[in-house]
Amino acid sequence: MAEYANRENKKIKWFTDWEKSDVPADLSSKTYAVTGTTSGTGLIFCRTVANRGATVYMLNRDSERAEKALELVKAGAKDPEKVFHISCDLQDFSSVKEAAAQLTKACPDGLDVLVNNAGVMCHPNSQTKDGYSSELQVNHLSHFLLTAEVWGLLEKKADETGDARVVNHTSGASQLVFMTAFFGFKRGVNPRYFEKDMKRVGGDGFVGRMQRYGQTKFANVVFSHALATKQSKVKSLVAHPGVCTTPLTNHHSDSQSPFMTRMFKKGFDKGEQSCEDGTMGILACACLATAGSGELHGPKSFNFDGLPAKSDIKNTAMGTWFSQKPEVSVEKLWEVSKKATGAIFPFE
């Protein structure tokens, strides 16, 4: 789309200098598995670590876009033979399980970092073959399942090196769950968005879409905090990109909400940062030696742009005294996610 192409050419403000000074120059001993890498932050992430010699598994649906992304990453990789495609459709739990099985076979020595990057924003209110909201399944449920399925790989690497990680990708929209305008006084994890009744997960209007998206992004935060508190062997971190130019909102040209289309296509244009700058958060979580479990990395205080700042997930992203208590959010999310996916974590 021409409109997106014009927005995409944002000037890189911090990324070039930051990656040279902060991201390790040699990642040849590291193995990364990343979802959603055909464009946006996922593609930039893969290009950055592959350029430093890492082994990279790009988890995408089979498509021409996936093939082009694979070739693009290979072209800039220090060793193109260490970059791979794994078929993974996040709208299909069986595909996620098969992708995990392929990863397990491909990584007998373990996995250093799983980056749950893929996401859709304010997607039309559609249902997957598994029965759930497509937005919820792509943004959270399938990542919950994938993480459980490859947990053994992460633990194996943690036992060997003392440093294996899961990185989730949230956004400032996670904080919508604390706004009375969107959720009244029912702040925090709302179980109805994790049900199969599409009449209860919001409609296609502006408020309904933002409610649904906010719940999925808060789920990313809570899932990260849950992993950090339920076990200590594998590090759990979450990143946010600020507001940056990615194809995340491309489908809004066909939206039933003209206001939303105008807001995301034009309203944020001057405040957006480049996609490269927006990728610094997940790179910090996945690559920095100083990054620790239970941390949030991204523009400070959920700002639109800026260098990645480190903060505590619980204190920064899980509400205040008048909100749902963090431990309540964790247990609610854990319960509904396990029920939906059938996932089992070894540490339970």
* Lowest-confidence region among 74-78, 147-151, 201-205, 306-310: 201-205
| C-beta atoms surrounding 277 within 10 Å | 28
pLDDT value of residue 186: 64
**Res. 295 pLDDT band, cuts 50 70 90:** very high
> Distance between CA atoms of 291 and 24, rounded to whole angstroms?
13
Residue 3 has pLDDT above 80, yes or no: no
Residue 269 has pLDDT above 80, yes or no: no
pLDDT value of residue 245: 66
pLDDT value of residue 80: 99
pLDDT value of residue 44: 97
**Res. 1 pLDDT band, cuts 50 70 90:** very low
Percentage of residues of the chain with pLDDT beyond 70: 86
> Distance between CA atoms of 23 and 34, rounded to whole angstroms?
17
Q: Where are the domains of the chain?
A: 2-6+29-341
Name the more confident of 128 and 188.
128
Average per-residue pLDDT for the chain:
88
| Amino acid letter, 34 | V
Name the more confident of 247 and 97.
97
DSSP state of 139: I
pLDDT value of residue 171: 85
pLDDT value of residue 315: 85
* Lowest-confidence region among 5-14, 121-130, 285-294: 5-14
Residue 320 has pLDDT above 90, yes or no: no
pLDDT value of residue 318: 80
pLDDT tens track for 65-92: 999 999 999 999 999 999 999 999 999 9
Name the fold adopted by 2-6+29-341.
Answer: Rossmann fold (3.40.50)
pLDDT value of residue 105: 99
| Residue whose token pair is 């992004």 | 217
pLDDT tens track for 158-200: 999 999 999 999 988 777 777 666 666 567 898 999 999 988 8
In this prediction the pTM is: 0.91
Helix (H) or strand (E) run with residue 296 in it:
strand 295-299
- Locate all alpha helices (DSSP H) within 162-266, ordered by sequence: 180-183, 206-230, 258-262
Q: Is the dihedral of CA 8, 65, 210, 315 positive or negative?
A: negative
Contact residues for 210 (Cβ-Cβ < 8 A; gap 6+): 122, 173, 176, 182
pLDDT value of residue 5: 34
pLDDT tens track for 27-67: 999 999 999 999 999 999 999 999 999 999 999 999 999 99
Question: What tokens appear for 241 in the block?
Answer: 């990109």
- How far lies 333's CA from each of 170, 224, 268, 328, in Å? 15, 11, 31, 8
pLDDT value of residue 130: 98
| Residue whose token pair is 């890498």 | 37
pLDDT tens track for 207-262: 788 888 889 999 999 999 999 999 999 999 999 998 876 565 555 444 455 555 55
Residue 267 has pLDDT above 70, yes or no: no
| C-beta atoms surrounding 252 within 10 Å | 21
* Lowest-confidence region among 113-122, 131-140, 261-270, 323-332: 261-270
Helix (H, G, I), strand (E, B) or coil at 285: helix
Q: Which of 156, 172, 174 is nearest to 164 (CA)?
A: 156
Question: What tokens appear for 246 in the block?
Answer: 């990615």
> Distance between CA atoms of 98 and 160, rounded to whole angstroms?
26
